[in-house]
Amino acid sequence: MNPFEKMVAWLPHTGLYLPNVDNGPAADKLRRDSLLLADEQVDKLYPFLPNKITSDYSRFVIDLERYLDNSKEPMAQKGMGYLYNRLIDGTPFDRSIFGDDFYFTEYYKHKHAQLKQAIERIGEGAILLDLHSFNPFPLTCDMDKRPNRPDICLGFNEDDTTFDDSILQALKEHFEDNGFKVAFNTPFSGAMTADTQIKYKSLMIEINKKCYLENHVLKKDVYDFSAILREALQLLQS
């Protein structure tokens, strides 16, 4: 049996597709910001995970990680709720070029239904992995603008989806033993949840892009890093 069969990998920000975007200065800025905010190639770090849910679209088109209800979403005040209408620096852009927002709202609902079904298919004891990457430096739109970011951020919720402290500490020690600086819920916090009655655990893993990318290309030692992540995830099943 695959030791990772009980895990569902949620990778909502790996996509870069910007429908109907042509050329020109405005389009260039949108593409630049899309790449900057994407979890660029982070899925390549987890080739061993069998159950992955991804999006082809850039998060500037549809951000599956945000709340659908903008009144609950802090980033909606920055024009970056589940449907973005501003760039990283706050500059407005016309999102009507992407097409009808109704379609993307339905796409959002479909992906979250897919997540729920994946967890319910596994059943009690499922593990939801909320997998991301982040830039080495704070961006204008980031809530946490503190410098000296860690290499790895482990995020979790203060509820029954949280792993025991002993497991979280074992994860932290594993990464630190391999030379990485680790922080809990910093610079990002929390972990994805699913609308289900199934009992499951959830963990966000955010990787500093400098750990696996150089000039948007995977580093030569990325397979070694992937092996470290594999060993870390095995600790979740202990």
pLDDT digits (tens, 9 = 90+) for 85-120: 999 999 999 999 999 999 999 999 999 999 999 999
For the packed helices 165-177 and 222-235, what is the interaxial angle rounded to 10 degrees?
160
Domains of the chain: 7-235 (3.40.630.40)
pLDDT above 70 (res 211): yes
pLDDT above 70 (res 1): no
Quick one: pLDDT at residue 226?
98
Find the mean pLDDT for residues 169-178: 98
Q: For residue 162, what are the CA distances in angstroms to 34, 39, 90?
A: 31, 23, 34
3-state secondary structure of 217: strand
Find the mean pLDDT for residues 159-179: 97
Supply the mean pLDDT for the chain: 96
pLDDT band at 25, cuts 50/70/90? confident
Structure tokens at 181: 């600086």
- ∠ at Cα 226 (222, 230), nearest 5°? 170
Structure tokens at 162: 């949280």
Global pTM reads 0.96
pLDDT above 90 (res 9): yes
Q: Are 40 and 219 in contact (CB under 8 A)?
A: no
Quick one: pLDDT at residue 3?
83
Helix ranges, the chain (H): 25-37, 101-122, 165-177, 222-235
Quick one: pLDDT at residue 237?
84
Task: Name the DSSP letter for residue 194.
Answer: -
pLDDT band at 78, cuts 50/70/90? very high
What is the C-alpha end-to-end distance of the chain, expressed in Å? Answer: 16
pLDDT above 70 (res 84): yes
Residue carrying structure tokens 């706050």: 90
Among residues 63, 57, 109, the alpha carbon closest in space to that of 84 is found at 63
Find the mean pLDDT for residues 64-79: 96
pLDDT above 70 (res 196): yes
